[in-house]
């Protein structure tokens, strides 16, 4: 079945309300709308997304050092006024929103998470609140608007990634330097932030969510009034999902949890979850010298492990300064896409099966089947972990095959699959449970 954002019936929405509302913490005032709950299920069913970090910092490409290149303003202590001169050089002549989105769609991802504003404060859309924006560069085009159009064309979800800091903003810098004063500057900064958020949810049609970041730099030292910001989003687009990479647990007004460079420890959840990594272990934006990239096999393993823990997996990439996605990244995403063409139908819309997950085995459930992924080569006979009863199993076969595999109680009280010696990494079994 192909999942789209318009798949779900009113009956399913009503069930979602019963299931998800109890997951909100005691004392929360926010009550998600029916459209929001439908959106949550769409998001969970996608299971895989692509994040993009790209902007002025891409021009410097890490400055020749293997550093988190999206943070080069801070890493190299560049004076804000000097950094702003990069506006004059931003002209990515090879940028194509359609090429980006088509590649992401073909990778098997269900959504694009686009960093429209990073910590440097540069805006990749035509805001009325600031001159520090893409339409004031030689490039002159509204990147967000072009990406939104391409996402609509290819039926790809769009999550807008927004950093709540401004390392070139005088009001933010004043408030950061002295958190006990400069209240007027802080309020101006918050008001400008909220107006930008309002623009994003008002001027670009229907979006799938707002993904906030950067709160952690000042954190509790300032009153952010997050609920006021979130209310702007939900008042304008009640379906839009809100999350925040603040590392303090789910807050009032937020719709799903984040796990930074790690997987949830358990498989139980009543709300959506997302774990996210970068394709480079060092950099979240393009870096000229790093070569620590995840392979397609590592990315596929992460998609499987996230799904086996009832979580989405989002992979970050950093396009090159000229707007192109690096050839090696394209090749990797195409490999992932080829795998998703075969196995995406059992990943999308799946739920975790709470059978014991090991380094070698991972399980997801969909419909009447549990799918078992072999994560590493097995030199011995394939024995399912303890805790799985033969009473739960109706039949076992290789995925895509009608040939049944025999099984029996193993010596270690697990379930032993017959004639399955030296099972290779990448093998997938279908276990019928009803």
Is the residue at 424 inside a domain? yes
388 and 336 inside one domain: no
Per-residue pLDDT tens digits for 67-80: 999 999 999 999 99
Q: Is residue 21 part of a domain?
A: no
Residue 402 lies in a domain: yes
> What is the percentage of the chain residues whose pLDDT exceeds 70?
93
Q: Is 194 a residue whose pLDDT tops 90?
A: yes
The tokens describing 185, both together, are 């500057």
Query: Distance between the two ends of the chain, CA-based, in angstroms?
Result: 19
Chain centroid, CA 29 distance in Å: 26
Q: Which domain holds residue 264?
A: 10-16+27-349
On whether both 243 and 391 belong to a single domain, the answer is: no
Number of domains in the chain: 2
pLDDT digits (tens, 9 = 90+) for 285-314: 999 999 999 999 999 999 999 999 999 999
What are the tens digits of pLDDT across the range 207-255?
999 999 999 999 989 999 999 999 999 999 999 999 999 999 999 999 9
Among 305, 327, 349, give the residue marking a domain's end.
349
Query: Are 306 and 369 in a shared domain?
Result: no
Are both 413 and 305 inside the same structural domain?
Answer: no
pLDDT at 416: 87
Give the global pTM.
Answer: 0.92
| Residue 209 and residue 110 in one domain | yes
Using DSSP, how many helices (H) and how many strands (E) does the chain show?
Answer: 12, 16
Is residue 84 domain-shared with residue 191, that is, in the same domain? yes
Do 191 and 92 fall within a single domain? yes
pLDDT tens-digit readout, 345-363 = 999 999 999 888 888 999 9
Tell me the HSE value of 321 on the side-chain side, using a 13 A CA sphere.
16
Residues 69 and 181 in one domain: yes
Give pLDDT tens digits for 10-68.
334 334 433 343 333 434 689 999 999 999 999 999 999 999 999 999 999 999 999 99
Q: Do 235 and 341 sit in the same domain of this protein?
A: yes
In the listed set 349, 370, 402, which residue is the last one of a domain according to the structure?
Answer: 349
Does residue 403 share a domain with residue 368?
yes
- Among the three residues 329, 349, 369, which one is the final residue of a domain in this structure? 349
Are 324 and 384 members of one domain?
no
Q: Give the pLDDT of residue 173.
A: 96
Q: Is the distance from CB of 418 to CB of 404 less than 8 angstroms?
A: no
pLDDT at 26: 38
- Answer whether residue 3 is part of any domain: no
Kindly state whether residues 267 and 300 are assigned to the same domain: yes
Please provide the average confidence, as pLDDT, over all residues in the chain: 91
Contacts of 125 (CB under 8 A, 6+ apart): 116, 133, 134, 142, 143, 144, 145, 199, 200, 204
């Amino acid at each position: 079945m192909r999942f789209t954002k318009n798949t779900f019936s009113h009956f399913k929405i009503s069930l979602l309300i019963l299931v998800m509302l109890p997951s909100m913490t005691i004392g929360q005032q926010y009550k998600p709308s029916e459209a929001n709950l439908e959106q949550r299920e769409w998001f969970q069913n996608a299971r895989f997304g692509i994040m993009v970090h790209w902007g002025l910092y891409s021009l410097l490409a890490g400055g020749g050092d293997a550093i988190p290149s999206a943070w080069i303003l801070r890493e190299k202590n560049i004076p804000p006024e000097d950094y702003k001169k990069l506006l004059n050089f931003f002209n990515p002549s090879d940028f194509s929103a359609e090429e980006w989105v088509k590649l992401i769609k073909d990778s098997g991802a269900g959504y694009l998470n686009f960093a429209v504003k990073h910590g440097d404060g540069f805006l990749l859309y035509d805001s009325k609140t600031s001159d520090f924006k893409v339409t004031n560069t030689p490039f002159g085009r509204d990147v967000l608007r072009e990406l939104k159009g391409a996402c609509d064309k290819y039926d790809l979800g769009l999550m807008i990634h927004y950093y709540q800091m401004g390392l070139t903003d005088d009001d933010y810098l004043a408030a950061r330097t002295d958190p006990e004063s400069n209240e007027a500057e802080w309020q101006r900064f918050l008001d400008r932030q909220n107006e930008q958020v309002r623009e994003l949810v008002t001027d670009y049609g229907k979006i799938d969510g707002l993904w906030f970041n950067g709160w952690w730099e000042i954190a509790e030292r300032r009153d952010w009034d997050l609920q006021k910001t979130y209310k702007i989003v939900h008042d304008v687009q009640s379906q839009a999902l809100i999350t925040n990479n603040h590392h303090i647990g789910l807050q009032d007004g937020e719709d799903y949890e984040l796990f930074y460079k790690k997987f949830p420890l358990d498989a139980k959840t009543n709300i959506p979850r997302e774990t996210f990594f970068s394709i480079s272990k060092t950099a979240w934006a393009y870096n000229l010298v790093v070569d620590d990239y995840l392979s397609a096999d590592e990315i596929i393993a992460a998609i499987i492990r996230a799904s086996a823990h009832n979580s989405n997996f989002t992979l970050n990439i950093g396009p090159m300064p000229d707007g192109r996605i690096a050839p090696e990244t394209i090749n990797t995403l195409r490999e992932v896409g080829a795998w998703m063409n075969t196995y995406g139908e059992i990943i999308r819309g799946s739920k975790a099966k709470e059978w014991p997950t090991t380094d070698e085995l991972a399980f997801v459930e969909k419909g009447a089947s549990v799918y078992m992924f072999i994560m590493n080569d097995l030199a011995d006979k394939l024995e399912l972990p303890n805790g799985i009863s033969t009473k739960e199993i109706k039949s076992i076969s290789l995925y895509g095959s009608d040939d049944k595999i025999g099984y029996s109680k193993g010596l270690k009280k697990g379930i032993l699959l017959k004639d399955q010696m030296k099972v290779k990494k990448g093998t997938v079994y279908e276990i019928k449970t009803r």
